[in-house]
């Protein structure tokens, strides 16, 4: 087979779901017999999958690099899988049978890997290689990127015409200071370093923050036997119907020894503190003028269509938004970026791009509730899809599923993962998991695909 290359070179940093979506987008073009550019992808971990590639390590990796992973043992999808399903590779195609709507991490990793393994994408990826620094060369309109091959301990550089950054933004902790925390006698960590609930068994736990990490770490620790969980919020409580053993309090004001004091004047003793205070968008390899500067939101400033950097249109960012949609949103972004690089999507002038960005940012400002946020991201994806040939799917139905998911969580924060949904990609009805989520203590792929309920499984061991 003759593979035609267009005469330009694309560098991709990161082989998580976003970077892999970029490779897949080009691959689907190549399969049609169309020319694609020369591609190179660099990944600092020793495998693909990004966040879904679990690591037991904390702090730094084997080669002394800041560790990327923030996922933990017993992590189960916190949204229905039907909302993140790839349009060109369904769960049923991968597993050959219906599975439940909230699979554990290893199962989702297997699914991500299943799609990419069908292609020769691995040949384009250099693992254990970290992007150190990027320079833009205005004379040639190219990027010079300096990398370190961590295994060989060697530095090298590459030149690219387009640079795609897919390095994620849930890795570098945002870690505020609270007076007295310096002398707290127990464990103090950020959610990024949380590797599972086991170590907090029989402990009284304080979680600071009131978003996804606090909600899930709180519920996980409750499930796996913590003595009590208190969630401390800055703006709004999560407001779930908590079981005895989980409660919410306003923000911590300070600590004295193992005692935390709260804004409502109460105080309580704790064994451990986990900061669930979110993450920073961090790009230590990008110079100031190429760096995306944003907090976690649905439409970061300076990204045309959420992907093309406003100050330099040869720089592309994928997956930088806060996420309701995940894998299929990264796909639609990658397909858009591909068609833009191939010259099929015309880029409006700077003023028009600014106007478009402002329009979306205004829309985000007007979106206040969870349901409105879902509608926002649905409309964003609809807009992106309209430019490309990414397989169309019923986004309104996916939005409805997200809204039901929000209600399911409201009704039962411990039981929402037992609900099942229907795929909009191939109409498969998910099957209820053999064991209720609260009783399922084993999150392995092997156990997940086993047919027996928890009690029988225990007996057969």
Q: Which of 170, 270, 317, 335 binds ligand NA7 (CB under 6 A)?
A: 170
Residues 308-337 that bind ligand NA7 (CB under 6 A): 323
**Which spans in 198-319 are helix H?**
212-223
Nearer CB in complex with ligand NA7: 174/267: 174
Distance between CA 160 and CA 163 in Å, rounded? Answer: 6
What, of ligand NA7, ligand FAD, none, does residue 167 touch, CB below 5 to 8 Å by kind? ligand FAD
226 near ligand FAD, judged by CB under 6 A: no
Question: Torsion over CA of 315, 321, 323 and 326, rounded to 10 degrees?
Answer: -10
Q: Angle, nearest 10°, between helix axes 105-117 and 17-31? A: 30
Distance between CA 63 and CA 130 in Å, rounded? Answer: 11
15 near ligand FAD, judged by CB under 6 A: yes
Q: Kindly state the smallest distance separating residue 367's Cβ from ligand NA7, in Å.
A: 15
229 near ligand NA7, judged by CB under 6 A: no
191 near ligand NA7, judged by CB under 6 A: yes
Q: Which of 10, 12, 71, 414 binds ligand FAD (CB under 6 A)?
A: 71
Order the strands of the 246-250 sheet from edge to edge: 187-190, 272-275, 204-208, 228-233, 246-250
19 near ligand FAD, judged by CB under 6 A: yes
**Interaction mask 124-143, ligand FAD, x per CB under 6 A:** ------xx------------
Distance between CA 277 and CA 104 in Å, rounded? Answer: 23
**Interaction mask 38-67, ligand FAD, x per CB under 6 A:** ----xxxx----xxx---------------
SS3 of residue 418 by DSSP: helix
Q: Encode 3-33: b = buried (16+ Cβ within 10 Å), e = exposed.
A: eeeeebbbbbbbbbbbbbbbbbbbbbbbeee
280 near ligand NA7, judged by CB under 6 A: no
Nearer CB in complex with ligand NA7: 52/91: 52
Contacts with 155 (C-beta within 8 Å, 6 or more apart), sequence order? 132, 146, 147, 148, 149
What, of ligand FAD, ligand NA7, none, does residue 14 touch, CB below 5 to 8 Å by kind? ligand FAD
Q: Which of 209, 218, 300, 306 binds ligand NA7 (CB under 6 A)?
A: 209
How far apart are the two ends of the chain, measured CA to CA in Å? Answer: 51
Rounded to whole angstroms, what are the CA distances from 434 to 265, 439, 443?
45, 10, 13
Q: Encode 126-158: b = buried (16+ Cβ within 10 Å), e = exposed.
A: ebbbbbeebebeeeeebbebebbbbeeeeeeeb
Nearer CB in complex with ligand FAD: 214/252: 214
- For ligand NA7, which stretch binds (CB under 6 A), given 144-152, 272-280, 306-314, 415-423? 272-280
Residues 290-319 that bind ligand FAD (CB under 6 A): 319
Distance between CA 412 and CA 66 in Å, rounded? Answer: 37
Are 72 and 52 in contact by the 8 Å Cβ rule? The answer is: no
Q: Kindly state the smallest distance separating residue 191's Cβ from ligand NA7, in Å.
A: 5
296 near ligand NA7, judged by CB under 6 A: yes
Q: Angle, nearest 10°, between helix axes 350-366 and 370-385? A: 150
Are 20 and 52 in contact by the 8 Å Cβ rule? The answer is: no
What, of ligand NA7, ligand FAD, none, does residue 19 touch, CB below 5 to 8 Å by kind? ligand FAD
- For ligand NA7, which stretch binds (CB under 6 A), given 80-88, 222-230, 270-278, 445-453? 270-278
Q: Kindly state the smallest distance separating residue 64's Cβ from ligand FAD, in Å.
A: 14
CB atoms within 10 A of CB 451: 7
What, of ligand NA7, ligand FAD, none, does residue 28 touch, CB below 5 to 8 Å by kind? none
SS3 of residue 24 by DSSP: helix
Residues 270-289 that bind ligand FAD (CB under 6 A): 285
Q: Kindly state the smallest distance separating residue 52's Cβ from ligand FAD, in Å.
A: 6
Nearer CB in complex with ligand FAD: 232/326: 326
Note the Cα 241 to chain centre separation in Å: 26
68 near ligand FAD, judged by CB under 6 A: yes
Nearer CB in complex with ligand FAD: 74/178: 74
Q: Kindly state the smallest distance separating residue 101's Cβ from ligand NA7, in Å.
A: 16
- For ligand FAD, which stretch binds (CB under 6 A), given 3-11, 24-32, 70-78, 264-272? 70-78
Catalog residues that contact ligand NA7 under the rule CB under 6 A: 78, 170, 174, 176, 191, 208-213, 234-235, 251, 276-278, 296, 323
Catalog residues that contact ligand FAD under the rule CB under 6 A: 13-19, 42-45, 50-52, 68, 70-71, 77-79, 84, 130-131, 166-168, 170-171, 285, 319, 323, 326
């Amino acid at each position: 087979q003759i593979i035609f290359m267009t005469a330009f070179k694309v560098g991709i940093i990161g082989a998580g779901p976003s970077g892999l979506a970029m490779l897949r987008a080009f691959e689907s073009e190549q399969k049609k017999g169309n020319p694609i550019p020369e591609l190179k992808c660099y990944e600092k971990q020793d495998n693909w999958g990004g966040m879904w590639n679990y690591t037991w390590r904390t702090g730094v990796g084997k080669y002394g690099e800041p560790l990327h992973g923030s996922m933990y043992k017993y992590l189960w999808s916190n949204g229905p899988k039907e909302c993140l399903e790839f349009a060109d590779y369904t769960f049923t195609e991968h597993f050959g049978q219906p599975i439940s709507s909230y699979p554990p991490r290893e199962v989702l990793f297997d699914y991500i890997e299943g799609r990419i393994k069908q292609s020769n994408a691995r040949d384009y990826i250099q693992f254990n290689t970290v992007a150190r620094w990027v320079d833009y060369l205005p004379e040639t309109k190219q990027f010079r990127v300096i990398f370190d091959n961590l295994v060989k301990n060697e530095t090298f550089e590459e030149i690219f015409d387009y640079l795609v950054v897919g390095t994620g933004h849930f890795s570098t902790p945002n870690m505020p200071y609270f007076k007295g925390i310096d002398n707290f006698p127990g464990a103090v960590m950020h959610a990024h370093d949380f590797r599972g609930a086991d170590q907090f068994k029989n402990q009284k736990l304080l979680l600071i923050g009131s978003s996804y990490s606090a909600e899930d770490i709180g519920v996980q620790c409750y499930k796996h036997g913590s003595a009590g969980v208190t969630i401390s919020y800055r703006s709004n409580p999560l407001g779930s119907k908590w079981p005895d053993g989980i409660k919410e309090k306003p923000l911590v004001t300070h600590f004295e020894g193992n005692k935390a004091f709260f804004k409502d004047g109460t105080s309580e003793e704790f064994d451990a503190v986990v900061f669930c205070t979110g993450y920073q968008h961090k790009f230590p390899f990008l110079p100031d003028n190429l760096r995306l500067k944003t907090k976690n939101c649905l439409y970061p400033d300076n990204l045309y269509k959420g992907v093309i950097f406003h100050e330099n249109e040869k720089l592309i960012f994928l997956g930088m938004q806060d996420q309701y949609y995940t894998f299929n949103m990264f796909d639609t972004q990658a397909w858009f970026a591909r068609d833009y690089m191939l010259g099929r999507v015309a880029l409006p002038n700077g003023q028009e791009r600014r106007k478009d960005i402002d329009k979306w940012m205004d829309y985000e400002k007007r979106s206040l509730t969870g349901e409105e946020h879902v509608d926002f991201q649905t409309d964003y994806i609809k807009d992106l899809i309209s430019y490309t040939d990414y397989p169309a799917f019923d986004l309104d139905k996916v939005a409805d599923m997200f809204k039901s998911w929000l209600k399911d969580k409201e009704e039962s924060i411990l039981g929402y993962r037992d609900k099942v949904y229907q795929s909009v990609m191939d109409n498969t009805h998910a099957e209820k998991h053999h064991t209720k989520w609260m009783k399922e203590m084993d999150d392995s792929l092997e156990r997940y695909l086993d047919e027996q309920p928890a009690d029988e499984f225990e007996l057969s061991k």
